[in-house]
Chain A
Amino acid sequence: MAMRVGPLSNVKVIEYINQHFIPVFISNEDVLSGKVGHDEKQLLLDIRKSAREQGLSDGTVHVYLVKTDLQVADVLHVAKASDIKLLMPWLRSISRRLNTTPGPVVVPPSSTTKQPKLKPGELLLQAKSQFNDRLSSYVDDWIVLQQAEWMQFVESPQDASQREWNIDEQLAKKILIHLYPYAADWDLDFDKIKSASMRLSPMKTAGAERKLSISGRIQRIQNLQPGRSPAPLFVEIVGIVRVGSDGRPQISLSTFKGTFGNRTFDGMVNSIAPEDVNSVEEASKSEK
């Protein structure tokens, strides 16, 4: 997060990286979970081996500057790399040593957020939240709801004739857990949730459109780094569900209150309009 909020959000750093390097990032979790291909993992291991063989720093959160022959030129731990005053002189010195020639950015910049591809019947939500002290960037999650799940925003799962009802607790957890901005422990873990609830009530509407108000809350105990006491996390949300003529809900939620320890945060969850969703069907057509 320090890199993302700091140097990688700084215009001058971004410009320098784009002009002098081919930038790439890799998640250690994706490597460990097997999400990356064999060639990708092997290349990463080769790069890290190159660093170690030269007596350079090596580890899970580093910036490696790698020459075109895939030998490491130098390495900087993220604790230093996240400080622009250390990062920029380092980048410049390595660029001079390698005699790099600045030029236009090679890979066109595009959004790093990857909207999941939906299967027929699924509903996509986007959740964002950020601490109000703005010491961190906002987090941006996608939530996919199956039909049996989003139908709970249209009618009671127990009795369709009920005017007011509670969302199933597991579904409430699945959604509300994302209204949680980054903190030292970023793990989204159901087991730490003390309680989660969401309730729908009919709203008075002027026209034929059916609307429901949502209220809800989630409480969890968040373990922080070793030596620090767990901090309580508490969110209260409000929102509106509009049930379209196709029977699908359009969901808008916002935090009414969000606290984590002594910090406050804001967040929201919105359903994505069908025309803005990437479907599995569309993806396979475009790949042909």
Chain B
Amino acid sequence: MRQFVALLFVTLGSQLAFGQLADGYLETWLPKRIQDLESRFSARPFDSVGWADTIVQAAELAKICDRPIFLFTLDGHMDTGRC
């Protein structure tokens, strides 16, 4: 019995020790995990700003609409969030 339990632990341990999760656990855990992260990563409030594509476009629109430009110069990239 002890040997059986030890073998069971070794088998499960080899499955659950990183790098692998048991297939059944992964099948259940992963979709829920992805769904939770999709909800968390869905909000992009800065996309509510009506950004002009370019400064040149902004300048043309500024003249047409008689509105000043809000120009933000940044390091990195706003669209990826690495800024």
A-side residues, CB < 8 A to B, are 1, 3-4, 8-11, 14, 17-18, 20-30, 36-37, 39-40, 43-44, 47, 59-68, 70, 73, 78, 81, 91, 94, 98, 100-101, 103, 105-114, 128, 130, 136-141, 182, 186, 188, 199, 201, 203-204, 213, 215-217, 236, 238-240, 252, 254, 256, 266-268, 270
B-side residues, CB < 8 A to A, are 18-21, 23, 26-27, 30-31, 33-34, 37-38, 40-41, 44-59, 61-63, 65-83
Residue of A nearest to B78 (CB): A25
Query: Are B26 and A238 in contact, CB atoms less than 8 angstroms apart?
Result: yes
A residues in contact with B59, CB < 8 Å:
43, 66, 70
27 contacts between A and B (CB under 8 A): A4-B83, A8-B46, A18-B49, A21-B70, A24-B52, A24-B53, A24-B55, A24-B70, A26-B54, A29-B77, A40-B56, A61-B75, A63-B71, A65-B70, A66-B68, A67-B62, A106-B50, A106-B67, A130-B40, A138-B40, A141-B82, A186-B83, A213-B20, A215-B19, A217-B19, A252-B31, A268-B38
Residue of A nearest to B60 (CB): A22
Partner of B79, one of A36, A91, A113: A113
State in angstroms the CA–CA spacing of A91 and B67 once bound together.
13
Query: Are A17 and B82 in contact, CB atoms less than 8 angstroms apart?
Result: no
State in angstroms the CA–CA spacing of A29 and B80 once bound together.
13
State in angstroms the CA–CA spacing of A217 and B4 once bound together.
32
Partner of A140, one of B34, B54, B55, B80: B80
Query: Are A44 and B55 in contact, CB atoms less than 8 angstroms apart?
Result: yes
State in angstroms the CA–CA spacing of A11 and B46 once bound together.
9
Residue of B nearest to A91 (CB): B70
State in angstroms the CA–CA spacing of A39 and B59 once bound together.
11
Residue of B nearest to A16 (CB): B70
Query: Are A112 and B78 in contact, CB atoms less than 8 angstroms apart?
Result: yes
Query: Are A139 and B80 in contact, CB atoms less than 8 angstroms apart?
Result: yes
A-B contact count (CB 8 A): 244
State in angstroms the CA–CA spacing of A8 and B72 once bound together.
11
Q: Could you tell me the distance in whole angstroms from the C-beta of A117 to the nearest C-beta in chain B?
A: 15
State in angstroms the CA–CA spacing of A182 and B56 once bound together.
29
Partner of B20, one of A23, A47, A215: A215
Q: Could you tell me the distance in whole angstroms from the C-beta of A33 to the nearest C-beta in chain B?
A: 11
Partner of B48, one of A47, A109, A113: A109
Q: Could you tell me the distance in whole angstroms from the C-beta of B50 to the nearest C-beta in chain A?
A: 4
Partner of B73, one of A28, A137, A215: A28
Partner of A26, one of B23, B68, B73: B73
B residues in contact with A47, CB < 8 Å:
55, 71
Query: Are A22 and B30 in contact, CB atoms less than 8 angstroms apart?
Result: no
7 closest pairs, A vs B, by CB? Answer: A215-B19, A21-B70, A139-B81, A105-B50, A24-B58, A66-B69, A107-B50
B residues in contact with A107, CB < 8 Å:
50-53, 61
State in angstroms the CA–CA spacing of A30 and B76 once bound together.
9
State in angstroms the CA–CA spacing of A11 and B47 once bound together.
11
Query: Are B52 and A20 in contact, CB atoms less than 8 angstroms apart?
Result: no
Query: Are B21 and A213 in contact, CB atoms less than 8 angstroms apart?
Result: yes
If A254-B34, A268-B34 touch, whether A216 touches B19 (CB-CB below 8 Å) is: yes
